[in-house]
Amino acid sequence: MSHLNMDSVARATPRHLSRRIRGLSDRAIAWVFVAPTIFLLLAVNIFPLIWTIRLSFTNYAANRPNAEVQWIGLRNYERILSDPDTWATMQATAHFLFWTIVFQVMIGFALAWLINQKFRGNDLWTTIIVLPMMLSPAVVGNFWTLLYQPQLGLFNSIVGFFSGADPTSFSMIGDVHLAPWSIVIVDTWMWTPFVMLICLAGLRSIPDSIYEAAECDRASRWRQFWTITVPMVLPFLMLAVLFRGIENFKMFDLVVQLTGGGPGNITTLTSIELKREAFEKWRTGYSSAYAVILFVTVFGLASIYVKALNRVKDR
């Protein structure tokens, strides 16, 4: 009797009814939900990737669609890798990537550590500190060009005030030695709060009781920092480095707005170079090969890094 009752209850549920009407299995319903996403992924990610790889072996130019397309094998790759400009661009990107990550990790962690100390108003300080990352990169680029103005820029005035140098005697954006640092400073200003937030999440995940146990175990503050805080925040810190690394490898808008890749080519990062090749010089095949090289580089480095990250997490 109870079986009959249960059956009748089950039959009365709308879900059961709708499935019966459609006659679909659970598996089929799962496919109905997943298919649009798979289709979208194939259309906007996988197909362009395969198409780019194909184009990278040709001399195709998008502004001459009717011109004959020739299969030139690996010639694009050979030209890119033997071009000194490519390596100069890579060097500029590496400089930008390395120093932004170093500064953001150091300052971000220090800020997170300070904010994590229990003091009045730390929520307000957190909000103030994260403001830069809420701004648009184009806006940030624009107003930092003003701050870097030798005549009226606040940055030059402050540096001049503390160093005693004449503020008009140097131009952060116009000087070949200072321009690479100018983009590092702006990116650090904008994205350090992001690293700080991730570090703060890591710091707040450490229960107070662990520090209490360490105090009872006669560990000094210094020892607690190096044997508890740092190892326990490290996975979070590595995650922040991964995010910032990937983001900065494809940095474009902020730098274009600030320096436009100049002076000369000194702040031309790979993404800027790629855009020039693809949409100013219209060397589509060549730029496709460039894009593939960048993709393989980022993907390879990120894969190695993620493996290291997992090892640290599983320690």
Should residue 214 be labelled a site residue for other proteins when binding is judged by CB under 8 A? yes
118 forms part of the interface with other proteins (CB under 8 A)? no
CB atoms within 10 A of CB 261: 22
Binding status of residue 315 toward other proteins by CB under 8 A: yes
Dihedral angle over CA of 144, 146, 147, 149, nearest 10: 130
Shortest distance, CB of residue 118 to other proteins, whole angstroms? 15
For other proteins, what does the binding mask look like between residues 60 and 89, x meaning CB under 8 A? ------------------------------
Q: Of 47, 41, 60, 45, which is closest to residue 289 (Cα–Cα)?
A: 60
Name which of 3 and 218 has its Cβ closer to other proteins: 218
Annotate 85-106 with three-state secondary structure: HHHHHHHHHHHHHHHHHHHHHH
**Percent of the chain as helix, strand, coil, to the nearest 5:** 75, 0, 25
Smallest distance from other proteins to CB 243, Å:
22
Candidate residues 53, 90, 130, 219; the one interacting with other proteins per rule CB under 8 A: 219
* In the complex, minimum distance from the CB of residue 226 to other proteins, in angstroms, rounded to a whole number: 12
Q: Is 201 in the site for other proteins (CB under 8 A)?
A: no
According to the binding rule CB under 8 A, does residue 227 interact with other proteins?
A: yes
Instruction: Specify the amino acid at residue 250.
Output: K
Q: Does residue number 213 form part of the binding site for other proteins (CB under 8 A)?
A: yes
User: What is the distance between the alpha carbons of residues 142 and 148, in angstroms, rounded to a whole number?
Assistant: 10
Question: Binders of other proteins: how many residues, by CB under 8 A?
Answer: 18
Candidates 90-98, 114-122, 207-215, 275-283 — which segment interacts with other proteins by CB under 8 A?
A: 207-215
Name the residue nearer to other proteins (CB basis): 126 or 224: 224
Contact call for residues 256 and 279 (beta carbons, < 8 A): no
Listed ranges 59-67, 224-232, 275-283, 298-306: which one lies at the site for other proteins (CB under 8 A): 224-232
Query: Residue 193 contacts by C-beta under 8 Å, 6 or more apart in sequence?
Result: 108, 111, 129, 130, 131, 132, 133
Distance CA 34, CA 28 (A): 10
Residues making contact with other proteins (CB under 8 A):
207, 209-210, 212-220, 223, 227-228, 231-232, 315
